[in-house]
Amino acid sequence: MDEKQIIESLQFVLHPKLKKSLIDIGMIKNISVKGGAVTLDLALKSERSPLRKVLVAQIEKAVGALPGVSSVQVGIITLSREEFEKIFPRAPLKGIENVTHFLAVASGKGGVGKTTVAVNLALALAQHGLKVGLMDADIYGPSVPLMLGITETLAQKDNMIIPKEKYGLRIMSLGMTASSNEAFIWRGPLVSKMIHQLFDQVNWGELDYLVIDLPPGTGDPSIAVANAIPHCSILMVTTPQEVALADVRRAIELFHKTGQTIVGLVENMSYFICSHSEQPIEIFGHGGGEKLQEETGIPLLGTLPIDLELQQGGDSGVPLLVSLPDSATSNIFRTIAKKIADQMH
């Protein structure tokens, strides 16, 4: 008896859903034969897989029936993410099948200007001549429609939602489906389902970049995006003060655990330039982004000032990159966008 005979006997042990041999799909590993004792490993998604008992019993029966086998010992190991996705490829999400790059703008804390960064960064990428979409995944408090001055309702064609087009962007937000004062009350499973639909049932078309505005924190929306698009890159937004850095650290840890690539940090509200002085006033402290860069090794791509015109653009529905494209702050956004594009390519 040798390993070849073991492999031949296991050709008839099939995965119940795939109807393929466990040998052929790579779920049998580390076969060893010593005398009449056979040991091997069964690779599953988790050690608690409901298929564990059934498959172990079938393996023991198939191998144990061979002449000369005195014992069969089946160990359980866990498939890596890459192995699992190769064996069980995900059904492609129809809406984003022609999107090249995904960039989620995230923060651990609310009120740091994450949506402002997402909107103007998307516009900066578009001004580089790229095809860009903007998805508002902040399903609890969608504010992208307000910042872009969009009041029209969504249209559908061929059972797909058509994103709105404005300022050279293709835009989708749940804020386009309800009145501005209506509260969205979502629990975990509904959150994940809704995020999935924003990817699958919105006809984004051909895009170079889909910029995704995530809600603050480390909850279901961020996890749902990570699960739906494992190769989605992350841009972290913070402000200089320690209370913001503490929350950003937690968010960074989440994305490291989900295997996302963090392309960089942006420090918002870094300083204020008063009309009476050229000396910057650091209202919220100094060096938070640099400190985080030193701690994590994640590059600090840019620092943005407290800019009244940037805030007014968000309130008026005409973003700064549109109203004042040649301003100093607009140029900072374009520099950040170029650094991201260079890195992601």
* C-alpha R_g of the chain: 26
Place of tokens 């480390």: 218
Q: Which residue has the higher pLDDT, 282 or 13?
A: 13
Among 158-162, 264-268, 312-316, whose mean pLDDT is lowest?
312-316
Q: Is 10 helix (H, G, I), strand (E, B) or coil?
A: helix
Residue with tokens 């994103």: 163
Type and span of the H or E element at 330? helix 328-344
Fold of 94-344: Rossmann fold (3.40.50)
**Which H or E run includes 245?**
helix 242-257
- Averaged pLDDT score across all residues of the chain: 86
Residue 234 has pLDDT above 60, yes or no: yes
The CATH superfamily label for domain 3-87 reads Fe-S cluster assembly (FSCA) (3.30.300.130)
State mean pLDDT over 28-34. Answer: 93
Q: Distance between CA atoms of 309 and 319, rounded to whole angstroms?
A: 9
Q: Region 111-129: what's the mean pLDDT? A: 92
Q: Give me the mean pLDDT over the 6-34 stretch.
A: 93
Q: Report the pLDDT value the prediction gives residue 280, as an integer from 0 to 100.
A: 66
Q: What span, in angstroms and rounded, lies between the C-alpha atoms of 208 and 213?
A: 16
| pLDDT, position 26 | 92
- Amino acid 275: pLDDT: 62
**Residue 271 reports pLDDT greater than 70:** no
Is the distance from CB of 270 to CB of 240 less than 8 angstroms?
Answer: yes
Least confident of 29-38, 75-84, 234-243, 290-299: 234-243
Q: How confident is the model at residue 274 (pLDDT cuts 50, 70, 90)?
A: low
In the chain, domain spans: 3-87, 94-344
Mean per-residue pLDDT for 172-198?
Answer: 72
Lowest-confidence region among 132-141, 161-170, 280-289: 280-289
Q: How far apart are CA 301 and CA 314, in angstroms?
A: 22
pLDDT at 116: 92
